[in-house]
Structure 1
Amino acid sequence: MIQVKVLASGSKGNCIWIGNGEVNILIDIGLPKTKVEKIMLQNDIDPSKITAIFLTHEHGDHIQGISFAKKYKIPVRGSEGTLKAIGSVETAEKLCHDGVVMFNAFEDSVIKVMPFRVSHDAYDPYGYTVQDKKGMKVSILMDTGTVTGDMLRAMSHSDVYIFECNHDVDMVVDGDYTEVTKSRILSDIGHLSNEAAGAALSKLVKGKGERIYLTHMSSKNNMPALAEMTVKKALRAKGFHEGTHYHLHVV
């Protein structure tokens, strides 16, 4: 059975551990190396047992602790654009073959990791799905300004959704950011609003007890209670109630 732990979330750093007893992976590593190690040990995760690190994109809050990979000799996976953007990582070039990145490190093993394109102002950003041989599926959607039909299809029928829920639109509009920054956040290559996350989850959740993690919240333009309320409202409109049809965790 796949287990999930959100080790860090937000503009200061993002890192997610996924494991099943045989394979242990990290999605992003956006905290300093020593802090990641400390958090892992606090969560009973052995840093030396990480099989691979999968990067969603090259922004600092997703790759800051990448030297962790060098210390423990862990392969780093990501799109060609992402790996080129962090070219100082020695393992990056070894993962590119004729312009194609070998994402699926475990196709003959007990879990399968598959990428799907997202919409963010990075070189070549991706989300991921992780699935075991029994069919349990986890979808990870980090930074994206919109959720497309292709993204919904990639994430469909998941048991766990780790979803960006970055901001409340009104808080961004009324806030003190520059107009340029506001436009970036609200654009289709920016970040996902509470409303957009709720709308996407209402299309994905089937009421079979799915677990939802709301992540990557802005400290200035969001409130956990507001994000939770917005997503619950969207799912309630589909007839789903928290605790009965799904389980919600606000990170």
Structure 2
Amino acid sequence: MKVNILASGSGGNCVALTTSLATILIDAGVAKTKIEKRLLEVGIRPDEIAAIFVTHAHSDHIKGVPLANKYRIPVYATYGEWKGISGVDEELQQVVETIHGVYGKLDVSGMIVQSFRTHHDAYEPIGYTVTDGETKVSICLDTGKVDEEMLTAMSGSVIYIIEANHEPAMVEAGDYPDSVKARILSDNGHLSNEQTATALQRLIRGSGEKIYLTHLSSKNNMPTLAEMTVKQALKRKGFEAGKHYEIEVV
């Protein structure tokens, strides 16, 4: 499975996952014209997108979902998150539903998409795992914590796309209002570098996994700091970057 991170950060988020049969998007948080342009830059035609899966209905994750109308792309989101999404033709709106409290699996052109609950200040936010029979990819974007259910859902992945949003000391020292600081640092906010590192300590097995650190704050983090925090945590487990796993900061 090929991964193209078309946008990452507070300005917008969009991930393309491609197999030999299809491409799906996880979030569409930049203008639809930008998504079209970035897809073409990586060799993907917009009319080849089989589905768009939304993690939650904040603007930096859904700004470009009207792209669906132009190319008649089904858009999947939880029932709660559809409360915050507009601009998608009704016949394209698909609900990610639960069965006895557990999200069901969806088969999109041979890509099996499974959802898991996350913790963010949205109606019903989720993350996703996507498998194509050979490769499992986990996408965990905005969440204030990683719990055992999330770890179980993501375990065994070959690729981890996970946010490393902030360094708490930088948030505290910054010029955001106290209410915004409290939101970022809460269990329904965003992951710190250390939280991300701790989760990856539980997930990485040293079998050549690829880590993408995403959604870094431009004000409250630095790419080198996020990468160093994760590398140090994994080194304590005996894993070295380039030998046991690969890491890229987006």
Report the TM-score when normalising by structure 1: 0.94
Structure 1 residues 98 and 187 mapped into 2: Cα distance closer, same or farther (>3 Å)?
A: closer
With 87-96 and 202-211 compared, the bigger mean Cα shift is at 87-96
Quick check: 1:106 aligned with 2:72? Answer: no
Q: Following the alignment from structure 2 to structure 1, what is the Cα–Cα distance between the partners of residues 222 and 170?
A: 10
SS, match of residue 90 in structure 2: coil
Q: Following the alignment from structure 1 to structure 2, what is the Cα–Cα distance between the partners of residues 209 and 203?
A: 15
Deviation at 1:104, TM superposition (A): 4.0
Question: What does the per-residue CA deviation read over 1:54-103, in whole Å, with 9 as the maximum and x for residues that have no partner?
Answer: 00000000000111011100000011111222144223785249987986
SS, match of residue 112 in structure 1: strand
Q: Which amino acid aligns with 1:243?
A: G
- Alignment match, 2:55: 56
Q: Is the 8 A contact 1:80 1:99 kept in 2?
A: no
Deviation at 1:123, TM superposition (A): 0.5
- Alignment match, 2:122: 122
5 Å matches for 1:25-174? 25-91=24-90, 94-96=93-95, 104-106=105-107, 109-134=109-134, 136-174=135-173
Structure 1 residues 94 and 62 mapped into 2: Cα distance closer, same or farther (>3 Å)?
A: closer
Quick check: 1:10 aligned with 2:9? Answer: yes
Question: What does the per-residue CA deviation read over 1:133-190, in whole Å, with 9 as the maximum and x for residues that have no partner?
Answer: 23x1000000000000000000001000000000001000111111100000000000
- Alignment match, 1:244: 243
* Consecutive unaligned residues in structure 2, runs of 5 or more: none
Structure 1 residues 113 and 227 mapped into 2: Cα distance closer, same or farther (>3 Å)?
A: same
Question: What does the per-residue CA deviation read over 1:100-151, in whole Å, with 9 as the maximum and x for residues that have no partner?
Answer: 79864416x42200000000000100000001123x1000000000000000
RMSD value, Cα: 1.9
Q: Following the alignment from structure 2 to structure 1, what is the Cα–Cα distance between the partners of residues 92 and 247?
A: 39
| More strand, by proportion | 2
Structure 1 residues 98 and 202 mapped into 2: Cα distance closer, same or farther (>3 Å)?
A: closer
* Consecutive unaligned residues in structure 1, runs of 5 or more: none
Q: Following the alignment from structure 2 to structure 1, what is the Cα–Cα distance between the partners of residues 93 and 160?
A: 31
Structure 1 residues 94 and 181 mapped into 2: Cα distance closer, same or farther (>3 Å)?
A: closer
Q: Is the 8 A contact 2:6 2:13 kept in 1?
A: yes
Q: Following the alignment from structure 1 to structure 2, what is the Cα–Cα distance between the partners of residues 74 and 190?
A: 30
Q: Following the alignment from structure 1 to structure 2, what is the Cα–Cα distance between the partners of residues 199 and 17?
A: 26
Q: Is the 8 A contact 2:79 2:97 kept in 1?
A: no
